[in-house]
């Protein structure tokens, strides 16, 4: 996709006070939408290496692989926020910013002297997004949360899996992504509102609430029935049979989802089963029996072969793909992008899964080493010249 | 705020809900026969059929409804009239009318084209997400509650809200192409990063999580609680205060995260032995007072009376015409923006009003109804 129309957030200045995944991921979404981002980091506050920490030392530019990917498309300035001068530089950058994103525990930014109320006095247009696990109010305001604990208390682990299964989660930083995405939508919405009011605002995002909202329909159901909703595994109420079926080989599986009566008739022939069940209601009632018949067939074939045979017959089917198989798929080819610094031969990063026609997608640039682009940031945002920057460095503010 | 037409399936409907939560006027243009979102179970018995679906009740809240049969010539003509007055249209493919026709009716339209792709479960498997969801020795499973669809929806909201900013700035609309399978693939980023950086494959971990050595959902007297033992020595010292198991107190070597990684199962078994007799909320309160990330494993029924959600306005007590007094999930953004969210509309609730606005006469509206073009 090419074109000369600027991306929607071009010209928007964002300061990233985020750490680990949720905050920096939110900021990356804004960067991919065209925003100009500076990440404020503090070298003296080491140890927050974040996602999958401890397992992957090294990485690139002093960042673990995961954080190298999450923190791309931004400059980095190393500010010592414990010194008055460092804080003063931060305040000057904030006064130039349209958006600030932070995901510290509630109260941390206030203690640094960087709370919303203080900053809004000199920059009333600032959109300040906080992303604490449980938000900035309520009985759990100060509670600490992590991806797995938030997956647990937001209902996700008991909405997933089948009846009598233990709680089941997803192994990646799912909750951080969902929190980051909701925060990004809120920020873009607030930017729209600012166009008419001229006013910024404090966005008190709760990662917990973002995750609960994802199963809002099940909450509604429980509010009415006063019962927990049934755990359906991979089944659905509007498609049957639907499930994940064992295939030949160790831990090999294929997903199949029958969407219509016609597809069911085809499938019945494919698996040579004598099961009438012409309507969805009948199939829903006999899911166990049907699943057994399907698995008797799929367990003799590789998942790729099941996918091939079933999709050729017009039945939606997809092999469970692992890391080594996904890069070859169309979906993946479209979201993987080269880094400007390393070209096609270098590491591929994940870009936005949508495009704006007439606008070239944001070019991916690698995550900088901490503080590596501080001078550039001070020059461009504050108009400081080299002697002024050298002065700040002498004072150990930067 | 913007006028947005919502012609999405279940894949996009959470996205247009979020746009309503931001304060936009979202009109759901839906089939007079009740579409897939309305039919999605759980179906709640007390209400008339097109309003009885829990997904409809949550996802269509804050929206208006116009019931128009887009399979008819008259219905498509009506849609063009609506497009002419809209700022944006968010549409699951295939488009009901050719792109050129929609843009001819409104050259400054933000048109968001959502490619739903294959069924949710198949997209989830292809994306690489199925391989990391489920018990390690059990069957892989999809995240429940149509959460994968909602995850696509948040991307739809982001793309649309961004394109609306572009329109506000330039006066010009834009076409946005968004693909549900690509949204899910992008959320499997860590699967890709891990593999491309070190050749390692992320696997299913049940409830264990992959960050700290000792983490997981463990049984207690009234369900499960989730613990993630902080990796630093001080966090471990706090943890031993919480779980005073003799095996922990007497073994100094467990202060080391690497050692805990090696003896993970043994440690989890000890914690479970202790927590089996405890109540989840009591453990969690105590853990949090020691700055240990712990949480109750909750189901949607427990969440519907959750004090945190009530205190922050995510849940709002309402008197629903069909369901009586309930705590209504207002939404994560609506509560933040203090956006009042109307309950989900009855099918075609605003059809007449919309036709009035478009200048249709009473007799014309009656004719459209008689011909089954609107309801």
Task: Compare all CA atoms of chain B with the CA of A141 and give the residue at the minimum distance.
Answer: B308
Task: List the helix and strand counts (H, then E) for chain A.
Answer: 18, 12
Contact at 8 Å (CB) between B92 and B13? no
Beta carbon pairs, A and B, within 8 Å: 486
Query: What is the per-residue pLDDT for A210?
Result: 98
pLDDT-based confidence at residue B33 (cuts at 50, 70, 90): very high
The CATH number of the domain holding residue B260 is 3.30.1540.10
Contact at 8 Å (CB) between A38 and A79? no
* B36 and B174 part of one domain: yes
* Option in A56, A192, A226 nearest B165 (CB): A192
Nearest to A3 by CA among A246, A255, A360, A368: A360
Contacts with B146 (C-beta within 8 Å, 6 or more apart), sequence order: A217, B10, B40, B55, B120
User: At CA B97, angle to CA B91 and CA B98, rounded to 5?
Assistant: 100
Task: Compare all CA atoms of chain A with the CA of B192 and give the residue at the minimum distance.
Answer: A323
**Nearest C-alpha of chain B: how many angstroms from A396?**
29
| pLDDT of residue A330 exceeding 90 | no
Task: Identify all chain A residues contacting B165, using CB atoms and an 8 Å cutoff.
Answer: 8-9, 188, 191-192, 195
Task: Identify all chain B residues contacting A179, using CB atoms and an 8 Å cutoff.
Answer: none
* Option in A66, A185, A355 nearest B158 (CB): A185
Domain boundary residue among B267, B296, B325? Answer: B296
Contact at 8 Å (CB) between B179 and A353? yes
Q: Tell whether B172 is covered by a domain.
A: yes
Q: What is the mean pLDDT of residues A25-53?
A: 78
Query: What is the per-residue pLDDT for A1?
Result: 56
- What are φ and ψ of residue B185, in 5° steps? -60, -40
Q: What is the pLDDT of residues A272-306, one digit of tens each?
A: 888 888 899 999 999 999 999 999 999 999 999 99
Q: What is the mean pLDDT of residues A349-360?
A: 96
Query: What is the per-residue pLDDT for A54?
Result: 41
**Nearest C-alpha of chain B: how many angstroms from A61?**
14
* A242-246 and A253-257 beta bridge pairing: antiparallel
Query: What is the per-residue pLDDT for A395?
Result: 81
Sorted by where each starts, the structural domains of chain A and their CATH numbers stand as 13-214+368-394 (3.40.50.10540), 242-325 (3.30.1540.10)
Which one of A6, A12, A32, A167 would you mutate to disrupt binding with B, by most B Cβ within 10 Å of its Cβ?
A: A167
Q: What is the mean pLDDT of residues A8-15?
A: 97
Query: What is the per-residue pLDDT for A51?
Result: 40
Q: Tell whether B203 is covered by a domain.
A: no
Which percentage of chain A shows pLDDT scores above 70? 96
Question: Could you please report the per-residue DSSP string of B207-227?
Answer: T--SSSSSEEEEEETTEEEEE
* Option in B117, B133, B293 nearest A160 (CB): B133
pLDDT-based confidence at residue A45 (cuts at 50, 70, 90): low
ipTM: 0.98
* B171 and B225 part of one domain: no
Structure tokens given for A379:
């020059």
Q: Hey, are the CB atoms on B182 and A234 less than 8 Å from each other? A: no
| pLDDT of residue A340 exceeding 70 | yes
Q: CB atoms < 10 A from the CB of B108, how many?
A: 13
Which one of B54, B275, B289 would you mutate to disrupt binding with A, by most A Cβ within 10 Å of its Cβ?
A: B54
Q: How far apart are CA A182 and CA B161, in angstroms?
A: 12
**Is residue B362 exposed (0-12), middle (13-18) or buried (19+ Cβ within 10 Å)?**
exposed
The CATH number of the domain holding residue B46 is 3.40.50.10540
Contacts with A341 (C-beta within 8 Å, 6 or more apart), sequence order: A365, A366
Q: What is the pLDDT of residues B123-172, one digit of tens each?
A: 999 999 999 999 999 999 999 999 999 999 999 999 999 999 999 999 99
Task: Compare all CA atoms of chain B with the CA of A140 and give the residue at the minimum distance.
Answer: B308
Domain boundary residue among B296, B327, B356? Answer: B296
Q: In terms of residues, how long is chain B? A: 375
| pLDDT of residue A396 exceeding 90 | no
**Nearest C-alpha of chain B: how many angstroms from A84?**
29
A383 shares contact with chain B (CB less than 8 Å): no
Contact at 8 Å (CB) between A356 and A382? no
Which percentage of chain B shows pLDDT scores above 70? 100
Q: Tell whether B194 is covered by a domain.
A: no
Q: Among A12-21, A230-239, A330-339, where is mean pLDDT lowest?
A: A330-339
* B138 and B246 part of one domain: no
Buried/exposed code over A276-289 (b: 16+ C-beta within 10 A; e: otherwise):
ebeebeebbebbee
Q: Tell whether B134 is covered by a domain.
A: yes
Q: What is the pLDDT of residues A79-107, one digit of tens each?
A: 988 889 899 999 999 999 999 999 999 99
Q: Hey, are the CB atoms on B298 and A152 less than 8 Å from each other? A: yes
* B137 and B176 part of one domain: yes
Q: Tell whether B226 is covered by a domain.
A: yes
* B175 and B224 part of one domain: no
In chain B the first and final C-alpha atoms are separated, in Å, by: 27
* Option in B151, B191, B209 nearest A178 (CB): B151
* B21 and B156 part of one domain: yes
Which one of A169, A207, A226 would you mutate to disrupt binding with B, by most B Cβ within 10 Å of its Cβ?
A: A169
Q: What is the mean pLDDT of residues A330-342?
A: 91
Name residue B111's beta-bridge partners.
Answer: B89, B175
Q: Tell whether B200 is covered by a domain.
A: no
pLDDT-based confidence at residue A44 (cuts at 50, 70, 90): low
**Nearest C-alpha of chain B: how many angstroms from A137?**
7
Q: Hey, are the CB atoms on B119 and A220 less than 8 Å from each other? A: no
* B161 and B74 part of one domain: yes
Domain boundary residue among B246, B269, B296? Answer: B296
Structure tokens given for B81:
């009239």
Residue whose structure tokens are 């003296």: A44
* B290 and B320 part of one domain: no
Residue whose structure tokens are 């026609």: A357
Mean of pLDDT over chain A: 93
Buried/exposed code over A146-169 (b: 16+ C-beta within 10 A; e: otherwise):
bbbbbbbbbbbbbbbbbeebbbbb
Contact at 8 Å (CB) between A17 and A102? yes
Q: What is the pLDDT of residues B349-366, one digit of tens each?
A: 999 999 999 999 999 999
Name residue A14's beta-bridge partners.
Answer: A37, A99
**Nearest C-alpha of chain A: how many angstroms from B73?**
26
CA distances from B293 to A47, B156, B169 (A): 17, 32, 43
Q: How far apart are CA B212 and CA B192, in angstroms?
A: 20
Structural domain harbouring B47: 3-187+315-370
Q: Tell whether B304 is covered by a domain.
A: no
Task: Compare all CA atoms of chain A with the CA of B120 and give the residue at the minimum distance.
Answer: A257
Question: Could you please report the per-residue DSSP string of A113-179?
Answer: T--HHHHHHH-TT-EEEE--SS-SSSTTTT----HHHHHHHTSHHHHSSBTTPPP--BSS-HHHHHH
* B127 and B240 part of one domain: no
Q: Hey, are the CB atoms on A347 and B41 less than 8 Å from each other? A: no
**Nearest C-alpha of chain B: how many angstroms from A303?**
11
**Nearest C-alpha of chain A: how many angstroms from B204?**
6
* B181 and B227 part of one domain: no
Q: Hey, are the CB atoms on A192 and B164 less than 8 Å from each other? A: yes
Task: Identify all chain A residues contacting B136, using CB atoms and an 8 Å cutoff.
Answer: none
Query: What is the per-residue pLDDT for B26?
Result: 98
**Nearest C-alpha of chain B: how many angstroms from A388?**
35
**Nearest C-alpha of chain A: how many angstroms from B104?**
17
* B128 and B167 part of one domain: yes
Q: Tell whether B302 is covered by a domain.
A: no
* B124 and B259 part of one domain: no
Q: Hey, are the CB atoms on A331 and B126 less than 8 Å from each other? A: yes
Choice between A253 and A4, residue whose per-residue pLDDT is larger: A253
Q: Hey, are the CB atoms on A318 and B215 less than 8 Å from each other? A: no
Give the total number of structural domains in chain B: 2
- Which residues 140-179 of chain A have a CB within 8 Å of chain B? 140, 142-162, 165-174, 177-178
Q: What is the pLDDT of residues B70-121, one digit of tens each?
A: 999 999 999 999 999 999 999 999 999 999 999 999 999 999 999 999 999 9
Query: What is the per-residue pLDDT for A50?
Result: 41
State the DSSP H helix or E strand holding residue A211, giving kind and residue range, or none if neither: helix A207-213
Which one of A54, A116, A161, A223 would you mutate to disrupt binding with B, by most B Cβ within 10 Å of its Cβ?
A: A223
Q: Hey, are the CB atoms on A8 and B228 less than 8 Å from each other? A: no
């Amino acid at each position: 996709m090419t074109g000369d129309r600027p991306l929607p957030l071009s010209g928007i200045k964002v300061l990233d006070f985020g750490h680990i995944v949720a905050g920096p991921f939110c900021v990356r979404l804004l960067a991919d939408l065209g925003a100009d981002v500076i990440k404020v980091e503090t070298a003296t506050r080491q140890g927050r290496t974040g996602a999958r920490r401890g397992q992957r030392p090294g990485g690139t530019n002093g960042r673990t692989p995961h954080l190298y990917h999450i923190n791309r498309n931004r400059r980095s300035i190393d500010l010592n926020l414990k010194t008055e001068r460092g804080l003063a530089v931060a305040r000057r950058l904030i006064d130039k910013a349209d958006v600030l994103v932070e995901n510290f525990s509630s109260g941390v930014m206030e203690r640094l002297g960087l709370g919303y109320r203080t900053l809004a006095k000199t920059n009333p247009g600032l959109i300040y997004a906080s992303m604490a696990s449980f938000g900035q109010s309520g009985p759990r305001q100060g509670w600490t949360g992590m991806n797995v604990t938030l997956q647990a208390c937001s209902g996700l682990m008991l909405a997933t899996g089948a009846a009598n299964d233990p709680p089941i989660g997803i192994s990646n930083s799912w909750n951080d992504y969902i929190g980051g995405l909701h925060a990004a939508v809120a920020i873009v919405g607030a930017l729209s509102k600012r166009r008419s009011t001229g006013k910024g605002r404090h966005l008190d995002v709760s990662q917990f609430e973002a995750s609960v909202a994802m199963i809002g329909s099940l909450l509604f159901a429980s509010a009415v029935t006063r019962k927990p909703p049934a755990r359906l595994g991979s089944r659905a109420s509007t498609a049957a049979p639907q499930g994940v079926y064992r295939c030949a080989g160790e831990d090999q599986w294929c997903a199949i989802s029958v969407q219509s009566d016609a597809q069911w008739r085809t499938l019945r022939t494919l698996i040579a089963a004598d099961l009438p069940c012409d309507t969805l209601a009948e199939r829903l009632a006999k899911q166990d029996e049907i699943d057994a018949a399907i698995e008797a067939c799929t367990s003799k074939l590789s998942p790729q072969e099941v996918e091939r045979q079933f999709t050729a017959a017009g039945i939606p089917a997809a092999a469970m793909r692992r890391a080594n198989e996904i890069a070859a798929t169309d979906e993946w080819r479209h979201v993987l992008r080269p880094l400007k610094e390393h070209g096609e031969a270098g590491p591929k990063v994940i870009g936005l899964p949508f495009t704006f026609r007439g606008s070239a997608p944001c070019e991916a640039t690698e995550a900088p080493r901490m503080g590596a682009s501080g001078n550039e940031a001070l020059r461009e945002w504050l108009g400081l010249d080299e002697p002024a920057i050298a002065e700040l460095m002498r004072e150990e503010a930067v | 705020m913007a006028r947005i037409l919502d012609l999405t399936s279940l894949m996009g409907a959470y996205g247009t809900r979020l746009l309503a939560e931001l304060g936009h006027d979202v009109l759901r243009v839906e089939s007079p026969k009740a579409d897939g979102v309305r039919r999605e179970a759980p179906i709640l018995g007390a209400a008339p059929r097109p309003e009885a679906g829990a997904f409809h009740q949550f996802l269509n809240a804050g929206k208006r409804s116009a019931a128009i049969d887009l399979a008819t010539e008259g219905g498509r003509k009506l849609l063009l009239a609506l497009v002419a007055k809209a700022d944006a249209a968010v549409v699951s493919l295939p488009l009901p009318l050719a792109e050129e026709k929609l843009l001819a009716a409104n050259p400054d339209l933000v048109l968001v084209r959502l490619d739903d792709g294959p069924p949710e479960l198949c997209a989830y498997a292809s994306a690489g997400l199925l391989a990391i969801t489920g018990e390690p020795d059990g069957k892989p499973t999809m995240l429940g509650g149509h959460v994968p669809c909602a995850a696509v929806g948040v991307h739809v909201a982001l793309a649309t809200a961004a394109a609306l900013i572009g329109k506000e700035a330039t006066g010009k609309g834009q076409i946005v192409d968004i693909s549900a399978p690509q949204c899910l693939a992008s959320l499997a980023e860590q699967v890709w990063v891990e593999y491309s950086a070190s050749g390692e494959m992320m696997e299913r971990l049940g409830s264990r999580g992959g960050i700290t050595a000792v983490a997981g959902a463990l049984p207690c007297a009234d369900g499960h609680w989730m613990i993630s033992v902080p990796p630093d020595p001080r966090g471990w010292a706090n943890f031993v205060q919480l779980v005073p198991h003799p095996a922990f107190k007497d073994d100094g070597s467990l202060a080391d995260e690497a050692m805990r990684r090696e003896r993970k199962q043994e440690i989890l078994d000890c914690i479970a032995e202790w927590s089996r007799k405890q109540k989840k909320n009591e453990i969690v309160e105590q853990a949090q007072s020691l700055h240990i990330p712990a949480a109750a494993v909750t189901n949607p029924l427990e969440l519907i009376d959750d004090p945190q959600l009530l205190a922050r306005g995510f849940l709002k007590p309402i008197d629903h015409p069909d369901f009586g007094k309930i705590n209504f999930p207002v939404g994560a953004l609506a509560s933040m923006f203090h956006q009042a969210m109307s309950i989900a509309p009855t099918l075609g609730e605003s059809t007449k009003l919309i036709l009035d606005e478009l200048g249709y006469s009473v007799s014309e509206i009656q004719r459209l109804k008689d011909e089954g073009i609107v309801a």
